[in-house]
Structure 1
Amino acid sequence: MDLNIIFQDKNILVVEKPPKIPCQSDKTNDIDLINILGQPKLRLVHRLDRPVGGIMVYAKNKKANSNLSKQVSEHKLCKEYLVVACGKPKNTKEELRDYLKKLKTVNMSKVVEKDIKGAKEAVLKYELLETVETLEDGTLSLLKITLKTGRHHQIRVQLSNANLPIWGDRKYNKVFMKKKKWTQIALWSYKIGFTHPTKNQFLTFTSLPYDEYPWNIFNIVV
């Protein structure tokens, strides 16, 4: 498999993860991105859901991993996503703030009240980039998402709860849950920004979605 390695040095590797590939080994034993890269010593800094494609950064050593993990915990590692949502938001920009609980038995999360045991705060901001009317799917909106926290399935759950379910999402979009035909979720890790673990230089990398429906109905300008 040909991979788009965007940047690497002796400390980090930035790569475009293809959809449907796990970012590290899991219980399915399917081949994962680290094995495809042929660098088994890579350390996972952050995650992307298996169905989601886009940009990721791995650490190549313990020191880099510690530094980047600290940036994650302090919300200094910036992550932005592109999403095709079903419907149109009322506001062109908005912050969504919810409490999520992970349902381990079904590998899903749900919005709950703040005082529920296991509830964790989830915060994201979205910006409406473009809306298109389609014959097949009705109104579709291209959104740019900035994550403030990193919860399980956060973008998928929060947008669904805001009546903006993601196109192709078979877990949180009721329309696609009923479809027998498999669909690729329209969620893409578009941008990542962080301070290099040894050079103290802030780096930003981007990756655009594949030229396919529903992405290609929009004039992506971000």
Structure 2
Amino acid sequence: MLDILYEDKDILVVVKPAGVESQTSRRLEPDMVSEIKNYLHRKVQETKKLSTGLSPKASTAPVDPYVGIIHRLDKPVRGVMVYAKNLKAAAHLSRQVQEGKLEKIYQALVCGKPVDNVGKYVDYLLKDGKTNTSRIVDKSVAGAKRAELEYQILEKKEQEDGTVRSLVEIHLHTGRHHQIRVQFAAHGTPLMGDTKYGAPAAASVGRARREPLALCAVRLSFLHPVTGKRMEFSTKPQFVL
């Protein structure tokens, strides 16, 4: 059931659904790595069957396909992801992440309107592993990591209850834990459906209506690990203003 945007012998670009872990999950829930491995295994078996005209022998032990995790999306976030199909591709793509050559663009619905139509947030985040949350702290705090993003407002709309929602596009420069959710909440415009960092009103609306987190990784751009060609893939968010 994978939504595959592109595939070759080195990489696989897919759209991760909301509610699915982007890496292997210890719980009995679907995750992208397992889904991709199952897909690749089925593909190998089908290829063998076509080449021989016979079903693969049941005694043949399946080879576990390699799936390299290059970047991650939070479980409730939908969006474009790239996975490596071999070690060389994984190393090359991981280097792009470190050098800022893998570009990620998100869209989100936020409560209210950011002060500026086009702006930048630079904060320092500290992750709490016990609660699986992050918060903004002073840069002098031990363990604090710099978090930077740029945004622009694409559209804003007043709702029937008098509140305002804004559709924003976000260029993420760093990939910190829950970064977009934490920064927008701290700057007074929490994401719709965010029951962890949202304002009480937004969180209660999200619970009552069971609204998903209004955040989507809409575009991903990187250099192909073998050809060096710049590649860009996109998807549309499923939320509406």
Pair in the same fold by TM > 0.5: yes
Larger of the two Rg values belongs to structure:
2
Please show how residues 50-129 of structure 1 align to structure 2 within 5 Å: 50-129=75-154
Q: CA RMSD in A?
A: 1.4
Q: Is 1:202 matched up with 2:226?
A: no
Out of 207, 214, 222, the position equivalent to 1:186 is 214
Instruction: List gaps (5 residues or longer) in structure 1.
Output: 218-222
SS in 2 for 1:36: helix
Q: For 1:195, give the aligned amino acid.
A: L
Q: Is 1:216 matched up with 2:240?
A: yes
Worse-superposed segment, 20-29 or 157-166: 20-29
Q: Number of matched residues?
A: 212
Superposition deviation, residue 3 in structure 1: 2.5
SS in 2 for 1:83: strand
Deviations 1:133-176 (A, max 9, x none): 11247100000000110100000000111111000001100224
Instruction: List gaps (5 residues or longer) in structure 2.
Output: 41-64
SS in 1 for 2:27: coil
Runs of 4+ in 1 over 6 A off after TM superposition: none
Worse-superposed segment, 136-145 or 74-83: 136-145
Partner residue in 2 for 1:10 = 9
Worse-superposed segment, 7-16 or 130-139: 130-139
Partner residue in 1 for 2:35 = 36
2 CA distance for matches of 1:137 and 1:189? 28
Q: For 1:159, give the aligned amino acid.
A: F
Partner residue in 2 for 1:160 = 185
Structure with greater proportional helix content: 2
TM-score, normalised with respect to structure 2? 0.84
